[in-house]
Chains A and B, each alone.
Chain A
Amino acid sequence: MLTTAEAEQRTGTVLEVKNLKAYYQMNYFGVQREVRAVDDITLSIKRNEVYGIAGESSSGKSSLIKTIAGAINPPLRVVDGSVKFDFDGNFVDVYGEPGSMNSARWRHLSYIMQGSMNVLNPVRRVKRSFEDFAFEHMGLSKAEFWPRVRQHLEKLGLNPNVLEAYPHQLSGGMRQRLTIALATVCEPEFIIADEPTTALDVLVQQDVLGLIKDVQERMGSSIIFVTHDMTVHAAIADRIGIVYAGRLVEEGPSIDIFRRPQHPYTAHLISSLPRLGDPKRRQALAGKPPNLADPPPACRFHPRCPLAIDKCKTDNPPLVARETGRVACWRAGEVEVS
């Protein structure tokens, strides 16, 4: 484990995604379909950074992180682009050299999912799950392994005695915290968190978020945090990328995304959030999320956009750099936030 000072010193880029395109290509009894779930996405993530990915369900955000983690199966295929990791000098080109990801998983990269508490085998003690999942990857003897696990749990504020319990004896929040401990026992440099708090009760949600933040700060790791809940992003993300219909439409530091959104879609996401103590009527966005098998031409947001002009229907706006971030909109910055 790194000291706090060492953790803070980690800088530089840990992940580079360039022009990534991943499509679902299917053929069922003569019905051919192509779904462009990840359509030309370029982004990079620095060390020691929490990068939030926001978007509606079926916007392609799950496909994006699966592709980044190298955990895709047909019919989802990478058509173009690259995903490159730099784990403190260990370079991994996920789609350049097949199989290169296998050795990096667990040691350098781990995955926390929604409902991942279900990875704990219900009929075995928690410690058996730790043994099953982590022991092989650590390369330690049994005598070294258990002290490490207990030490790790203690650092995360969990009582090591829970290792002796069966999953059903623990609450949902405790199980989720344990799986986060399990996923991070190898101290990975990179953590992918996919809606880890969505199914949890309100009171537990903050504790789980707090734990993820603890882990991140202590180990100086980078996190990709995916959720559709903007308030969670507000609490945890340093930078936020907004995904709409398979494309990145805006990216920037959280504070700018919330206070000065440039893209009309982002502005809508922020202003539609209900707030305690403010019963002002808030409008919902008209229309429905586009079907990725048949997306609208040019800017994919134009059918629902209150600011759409003719150009939006014919030309796709490129993702261009702004002062603090990037945005893909012909009318960037013109939107008002209420």
Chain B
Amino acid sequence: MFKVLRDLLRYNREFLIGFILTASLVIYASLHFFSPYDNTAIYLLPPDMPPSPDYWLGTTSRGQDIFWQISAALWNTMTFGITVTVISRMLALTMGMISGYIGGRGDRVLMTINDTLIALPNLPILLLVYFVMREQMNWAILAVVTACLSWNYDARIIRSVALSLRQREFTRHAVYAGMSMPQVLVRQHMPYVMPIVFFTAMNNLIFAIGIEVTLAVLGFIDLNRPTIGGMINWANQHQAIVAGVWWWIAFPIIAIVLLFLGLFLLAISINEYIDPRSRLARMGG
């Protein structure tokens, strides 16, 4: 594991940049545990202060320090995005691989479910869930619902690879070696599917964070808990741009763009590394 990391850092520029970027953002986000202020409290500081040595990234019109707000918001947004991604990748992986492997009627049933979900509009469903749940609604439930709405396309892509893997002779050999379906899927097919999982994970993460921002901007999630979307929502409500408090909008956006960039670079370089063709080339195939 350590050797892989060292090789990637040494020979892959994208990985190096992505790694530094993501690592610094993660460190920055985890700093909020040591924040001098309660990050849900308001009017603790003088409002609308521009960036200065006292308040590095300025303060909001609600009297909060933007540096510490972003730190907490990044943490929450990342947790949300990663939770959605992990759950939806697991769903896509299981459904896609099983569907492709069993084929025939089972495949048709699973893919009908899948295609029906694709046809459903995401945002109205989320709003519906929000109105039904109301009081019980929290970020974890939102994450689960978002995950359930975002695995379908990727399950189809994974299924197409699984279908072709099923036809390969080594799969038949594995069956005659007495391997059960889970063993064949996990040990034999997974390495071929992982690059897709990694690559779609990036899209999915962007989608999840986008959903959170959208819902926050519309005011449909708990706005007191700092998130990147929530910050933009508050800034809008206070007409930050018109009032000239540009730092309230600019810094959260820069933070989220850097996060996307870092994760994207990591995803593509890890992808290149675990891609079966590149792996075989390194092994001497």
Q: Which residues of A contact B (CB under 8 A)?
A: 26, 28-31, 33, 293
Contact = CB atoms under 8 A, between A and B. Distances in A.
Nearest to A31: B282
Given A29-B8, A29-B11, A30-B10, 13 more contacts: A26-B281, A28-B278, A28-B281, A28-B282, A29-B7, A29-B12, A29-B273, A29-B282, A30-B7, A30-B11, A31-B282, A33-B284, A293-B284
Nearest to A294: B284
B202 to A, nearest CB: 21
Q: Which 5 A-B pairs have the closest CB atoms?
A: A28-B282, A29-B11, A29-B7, A31-B282, A28-B281
Contacts, number: 16
A319 to B, nearest CB: 28
Interface string B208-239: 00000000000000000000000000000000
Nearest to A26: B281
Interface string B247-284: 00000000000000000000000000100001001101
B216 to A, nearest CB: 41
Contacts of B281: 26, 28
Interface string B97-122: 00000000000000000000000000
Contacts of A33: 284
Interface in B35-60: none
Contacts of B278: 28
Nearest to B11: A29
A139 B273 CA distance: 47
A305 B7 CA distance: 41
16 contacts: A26-B281, A28-B278, A28-B281, A28-B282, A29-B7, A29-B8, A29-B11, A29-B12, A29-B273, A29-B282, A30-B7, A30-B10, A30-B11, A31-B282, A33-B284, A293-B284
Query: B10, B12, B278, B284 — which one has the most chain A CB atoms within 10 A of its CB?
Result: B284
Nearest to B12: A29
A30 B281 CA distance: 12
B218 to A, nearest CB: 45
A34 to B, nearest CB: 11
B199 to A, nearest CB: 19
A124 B272 CA distance: 36
Contacts of B12: 29
Contacts of B282: 28-29, 31
A275 B9 CA distance: 58
A293 B281 CA distance: 12
B12 to A, nearest CB: 7
Nearest to A28: B282
Query: B12, B273, B282 — which one has the most chain A CB atoms within 10 A of its CB?
Result: B282
A140 to B, nearest CB: 42
B164 to A, nearest CB: 17
A31 B279 CA distance: 11
Interface string B1-35: 00000011011100000000000000000000000
Query: A29, A30, A31, A33 — which one has the most chain B CB atoms within 10 A of its CB?
Result: A29
A74 to B, nearest CB: 13
Contacts of B10: 30
A26 B278 CA distance: 11
A31 B278 CA distance: 11
A29 B273 CA distance: 8
A29 B14 CA distance: 13
Contacts of A29: 7-8, 11-12, 273, 282
A31 B281 CA distance: 9
A150 to B, nearest CB: 40
Nearest to A27: B11
Query: B12, B273, B281 — which one has the most chain A CB atoms within 10 A of its CB?
Result: B281
